[in-house]
Amino acid sequence: MRILFCLILLTLFSGCEKKTILYHPDPKWDVADSIYNNQIGKPVFLQLKKEKKLNVIESGWGLRGRKNIRCMHCGFRYYNEITVEEARKLLLETGNLYLKTINENEKIRSFLENYPYGPENIEINIFINPGNRTPKSDGLGVIAIIDGKLKYYSNPHFTKIYEETYEEALEKLTKVP
């Protein structure tokens, strides 16, 4: 049931769907898939699991009606309760690693809509599931980076409680002593 619930939420929160088979039978997208999976996704997700205890549950990229990749996305499950301040730091560290890995990979560049990739080109969803149980009703349920904004959703109805731009979040993080 929880897996179904997470998949429904991913559908609601995610605007980057991978549609290579339906819209682009061109074999070049198989190359893009291979580069993404092996040189971007795998190292990023292994590092995030080890360092941040994030467990990847989905990832991919989307064209969003364009001729090249407009958005790369990933979703995680996180098994600890978290405050907004901790969530901000976690999202920024995750986003920065993802962007750094994408932008440093020369092989993926020819497939990208724009280079360098910025916060508006990634989508990250982190589902808070402390101790593999439903989070407290006043706690965070989902944190995300969508369209260059950090978004924080509460439990149990996933109501947005706070939103800030990537730049505002970076500024707040650097002001913390």
Kindly report the three-state secondary structure assignment for every residue of 120-165.
Answer: HHEEEEEEECHHHCCCCCCCEEEEEEECCEEEEEECCCCCEEEEEE
Give the per-residue pLDDT at 1: 45
* Sign of the torsion angle spanned by Cα atoms 98, 100, 45, 154: negative
> What are the tokens at 110?
């020819």
pLDDT value of residue 6: 46
The token duo for 2 is 């929880």
Whether the Cβ atoms of residue 74 and residue 98 lie closer than 8 Å to each other: yes
19 residue type, one letter:
K
Name the residue with higher pLDDT: 18 or 173. 173
Phi, psi of 101 (to 5 degrees): -65, -40
Q: What is the pLDDT of residues 102-159, one digit of tens each?
A: 999 999 999 999 999 999 999 999 999 877 666 566 789 999 999 999 999 997 678 8
Domain boundaries, given as residue ranges, for the chain: 2-175
Question: What is residue 45's predicted lDDT score, i.e. its pLDDT?
Answer: 98
Q: What is the CA radius of gyration of the chain?
A: 16
In this predicted structure, the answer to whether residue 169 has a pLDDT above a threshold of 80 is yes
* Sheet of 149-154, strand order: 54-62, 71-78, 122-128, 140-146, 149-154, 160-165
Q: What is the pLDDT of residues 63-112, one digit of tens each?
A: 767 889 999 999 999 999 999 999 999 999 999 999 999 999 999 999 99
Q: Which residues contact 73 (CB under 8 A, 6 or more apart)?
A: 14, 16, 58, 59, 60, 61, 62, 122, 123, 124, 125
Torsion angle of the four alpha carbons 170, 175, 176, 177, in this order, in degrees rounded to the nearest 10: 140
